[in-house]
């Protein structure tokens, strides 16, 4: 029998959510029936999520894509010559030449969708471990210096320079610093964000490599990935990858033959949004309620179990190997102002072409939403986009020329956050969105500080009164006061930033708050289990 043709069908959970498993099974079945020789490989997703399930066939002309494919399409595709890249209405051409993908600058996501995520051979063949090998050849302080020089800032939301955090942990010496930890924040609770999930499902060894580099750089011996329970596929993939990495000598005693000992574990969250806040995450990792800690002390000095701890987001840690492999200069050359390198933007909500757009900082929101995203899925006009998750601002179309840059966003009273962009069409009720922001805060507050715990509950009531037209002016003033209080008085950014979506909705869409109507029929968000 001839060599089987390799056909890639993503195993990414977004692709699976629209039928990738059924497509893979149909191809497998066709192969087993003997008429076609097919080897199905389950890759990550390229991030062109509207094309999922996106099937790729390895041909002499490169990897030819077809999508979105359903299981029912499979017989017809095979008959049309799928295995040699034959013509078909679903044929997209060479995947790496799709304009949507070719225009991007895939740095962190370079391998996602390309390789078999759990194949160590694929990983190394596509440049994996170059960063770790380079790091292990350097003194820890030099690794930290390179990360600092690259300009890499934390991708979890706050944008704190990664190198500076690492330096603090490295410099913790002596008593109490016998044990240090690397904690990866994989809680990714923000609506509209899924890049952490996709890189963990699509290139898990990259996160392991990044964490091992961090361990070498600061002198840590143990690592944890705090991964939300809503991501069962990512949990399974990371656990499998950790086991494989141990077998390969990429983890454990003497990593890659060096003197570095590093152990890594996945810890599964339990459905509390606040546990994405780093100090709450540390308490949760210690087996406690996820209560936010007052800072100082900062986690870099007194973190997990009181030990010096690096806490970084998945995308921060998965970018580190690239910085070490290609040098800080190459990374630093990308971007604008103090936002260096690339950001992995995530387009979601009511958008025609949703997915991952990795590109240098500085691209405008309009380019993302219109050029990459193709406008709304519903076909109605875009009215607003919420950028940076549930604590981020709602921006009106008039502000879509803002460059995606931490400082430019901050100046506009918005935030870039984790790079999520959620698009809404003109049917959105902004008063309902503002109310939801307060409700979400009330529901997910850890309860430690009063401005957040009580303020959010009051916020819901006040918005209801404004919309109902009861003492409208007084209640608008009250809402302003409440927002000030939450911003200034909350212990962490949960309460501190909840006013951002509320105020932006109010500032840009005041008509939605005119009194005398009942709020849209939105079902109250009431708690089901737990209290976090």
Complete DSSP assignment for 292-329: PPPSSSPTTTS-GGGS-EEEEEHHHHHHHHHHHHH-HH
Sequence-separated contacts (24+) of 476-485 with Cβ below 8 Å: 476/506, 476/513, 479/506, 482/455, 482/458, 483/459, 485/451, 485/455
Minimum distance of ligand FMN from residue 117's CB (angstroms): 21
- Confirm or reject binding of residue 234 to ligand FMN (CB under 6 A): no
CB of 284 to ligand FMN, least distance (A): 12
Residue 349 interacts with which of ligand FMN, another protein, none, CB < 5 to 8 Å by class: another protein
Please list every residue from 349 through 388 that binds another protein, using CB under 8 A.
Answer: 349-351, 354-355, 377, 386
Q: Does 490 bind ligand FMN (CB under 6 A)?
A: no
Choose one: 188-196, 202-210, 315-323, 399-407; the region binding another protein (CB under 8 A). 188-196
Look up residue 301 and give its two tokens. 């000095």
Q: What 8-state DSSP symbol labels residue 372?
A: I
Q: Binding marks (x or -) toward ligand FMN, 173..212, rule CB under 6 A?
A: ------------x-xxx-----------------------
Which residues in the 386-415 window bind another protein by CB under 8 A? 386, 390
| Tokens 């894509």, located at residue | 65
Considering only 246, 267, 366, 472, the residue that binds another protein (CB under 8 A) is: 267
- 494 lines the binding site for ligand FMN (CB under 6 A): yes
Binder to another protein among 425, 449, 463, 485 (CB under 8 A)? 425
By CB under 8 A, is residue 286 in contact with another protein? yes
Beta partners for 6? 39
Residue span binding another protein (CB under 8 A) among the ranges 1-9, 116-124, 159-167, 347-355: 347-355
Residue 424 as a binder of another protein (CB under 8 A): the answer is yes
Applying CB under 8 A, which of residues 61, 240, 305, 411 lies at the interface with another protein? 305
Which residues in 237-276 contact ligand FMN (CB under 6 A)?
274, 276
| 8 Å CB contact between 400 and 366 | yes
Binding mask 209-248 for another protein (x = CB under 8 A): --------------------xxxxx---------------
The CA distance from 13 to 15, in Å, is: 5
Element (H, E) at 181: strand 181-186
**Cα separation, 112 vs 206, whole angstroms:** 10
**What is the 8-class DSSP label of residue 174?**
S
In which order are the strands placed within the sheet that holds 55-59? 38-41, 5-8, 55-59, 62-66, 91-94
CB-facing half-sphere around the CA of 235: CA atoms within 13 A:
14
Residue 388, Cα to own-chain centre: how many angstroms?
11
Minimum distance from residue 362 beta carbon to another protein (Å): 23
Q: How far apart are CA 288 and CA 301, in angstroms?
A: 20
Nearer to ligand FMN, 27 or 493 (CB): 493
Pick what 423 binds: ligand FMN, another protein, none; C-beta below 5 to 8 Å, kind-dependent: another protein
Q: Which is nearer to another protein, 40 or 49 (CB)?
A: 49
Q: Does 316 bind ligand FMN (CB under 6 A)?
A: yes
The distance of closest approach from Cβ of residue 509 to ligand FMN in the complex, given in angstroms and rounded to an integer, is 24
Q: What is the dihedral of CA 166, 168, 174, 175, to 10 degrees?
A: -100
Spatial distance between the Cα atoms of 185 and 314, rounded to a whole number of angstroms: 6
Residue appearing with tokens 């043709």 = 5
Query: How many residues belong to the site for another protein (CB under 8 A)?
Result: 69
Interaction of residue 321 with another protein, rule CB under 8 A:
no
Q: Say which residues have a Cβ less than 8 Å from residue 240's Cβ, sequence separation at least 6.
A: 118, 204
- Locate tokens 């991964």: which residue? 227
Question: Near ligand FMN by CB under 6 A, which window of 152-160, 172-180, 236-244, 467-475?
Answer: 152-160
The rounded Cα 415 to chain-centroid distance in angstroms is 15
Is residue 302 part of the contact set for another protein (CB under 8 A)?
A: no
For 477, other C-beta atoms within 10 Å of its C-beta total 12
**Which of residues 152 and 183 has its CB atom nearest to another protein in the complex?**
183
Judged by beta carbon distances under 5 to 8 A according to partner kind, the member of another protein, ligand FMN, none in contact with residue 445 is none
Q: Which of ligand FMN, another protein, none sits in contact with 180, Cβ below 5 to 8 A by type?
A: none
Would you state the structure tokens that stand for residue 370, as one six-digit string?
Answer: 């219109």
Our CA angle for 132, 135, 136, nearest 5°, is 85
**Cα–chain center distance at 326:** 23
Q: Which residues bind to another protein, rule: CB under 8 A?
A: 13-14, 16-18, 49-50, 52, 188-194, 197, 229-233, 265, 267-273, 284-290, 305, 346-351, 354-355, 377, 386, 390, 420, 422-425, 428, 433, 436, 440, 444, 521-523, 525-532
Q: Which residues bind to ligand FMN, rule: CB under 6 A?
A: 154-158, 160, 185, 187-189, 274, 276-278, 311-313, 316, 492-494
């Amino acid at each position: 029998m001839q060599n089987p043709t390799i056909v890639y069908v993503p195993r990414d959970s977004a692709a699976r959510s629209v039928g990738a498993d059924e497509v893979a099974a149909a191809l497998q079945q066709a192969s087993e029936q003997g008429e076609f020789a097919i080897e199905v490989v389950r890759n990550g997703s390229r991030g062109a999520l509207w094309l999922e399930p996106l099937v790729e066939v390895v041909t002499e002309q490169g990897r030819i894509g077809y999508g979105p494919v359903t299981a029912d399409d499979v017989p017809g595709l095979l008959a049309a010559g799928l295995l040699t890249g034959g013509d078909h209405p679903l044929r997209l051409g060479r995947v790496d030449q799709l304009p949507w993908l070719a225009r991007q600058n895939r740095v962190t996501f370079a391998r996602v969708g390309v390789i078999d995520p759990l194949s160590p051979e694929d990983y190394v063949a596509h440049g994996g471990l170059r960063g770790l090998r380079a790091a292990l050849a350097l003194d820890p302080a030099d690794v930290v210096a390179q990360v600092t020089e690259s300009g890499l800032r934390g991708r979890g939301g706050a944008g704190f320079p990664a190198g500076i955090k690492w330096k603090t942990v490295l410099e913790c010496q002596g008593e109490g610093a016998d044990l240090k930890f690397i904690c990866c924040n994989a809680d990714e609770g923000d609506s509209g964000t899924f890049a952490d999930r996709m890189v963990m499902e699509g290139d898990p060894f990259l996160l392991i490599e990044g964490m091992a580099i961090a361990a070498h750089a600061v002198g840590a011996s143990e690592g944890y990935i705090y991964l939300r329970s809503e991501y069962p596929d990512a949990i399974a993939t990371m656990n499998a990858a950790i086991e494989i990495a141990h077998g390969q000598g990429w983890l454990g005693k003497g990593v890659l033959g060096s003197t570095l000992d590093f152990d890594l574990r996945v810890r599964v969250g339990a459905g509390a949004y606040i546990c994405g806040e780093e100090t709450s995450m540390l308490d949760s990792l210690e087996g406690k309620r996820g209560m936010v800690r007052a800072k100082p002390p900062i986690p870099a000095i007194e973190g997990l179990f009181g030990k010096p701890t690096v806490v970084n987001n998945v995308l921060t840690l998965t970018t580190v190997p690239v910085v070490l492999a290609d040098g800080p200069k190459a990374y630093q050359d990308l971007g604008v102002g103090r936002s260096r390198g690339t950001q992995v933007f995530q387009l979601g909500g009511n958008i025609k072409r949703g997915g991952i757009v990795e590109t240098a900082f500085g691209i405008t929101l309009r380019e993302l939403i219109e050029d990459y995203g193709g406008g709304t899925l519903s076909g109605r006009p875009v009215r607003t986009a919420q950028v940076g998750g549930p604590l981020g601002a709602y921006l009106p179309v008039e502000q879509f020329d803002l460059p995606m840059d931490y400082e430019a966003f901050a100046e506009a009273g918005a935030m870039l956050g984790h790079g999520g962009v959620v698009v809404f069409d003109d049917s959105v009720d902004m008063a309902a969105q503002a109310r939801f922001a307060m409700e979400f805060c009330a529901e997910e507050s850890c309860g430690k500080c009063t401005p957040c715990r009580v303020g959010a509950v009051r916020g819901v009531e006040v918005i209801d009164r404004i919309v109902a037209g009861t003492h409208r002016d007084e209640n608008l003033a009250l809402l302003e006061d409440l927002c000030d209080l939450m911003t200034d008085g909350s212990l962490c950014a949960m309460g501190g930033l909840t006013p951002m979506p509320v105020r932006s909705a109010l500032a840009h869409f005041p008509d939605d708050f005119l009194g005398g109507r009942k709020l849209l029929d939105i079902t109250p968000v009431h708690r089901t289990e737990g209290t976090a």
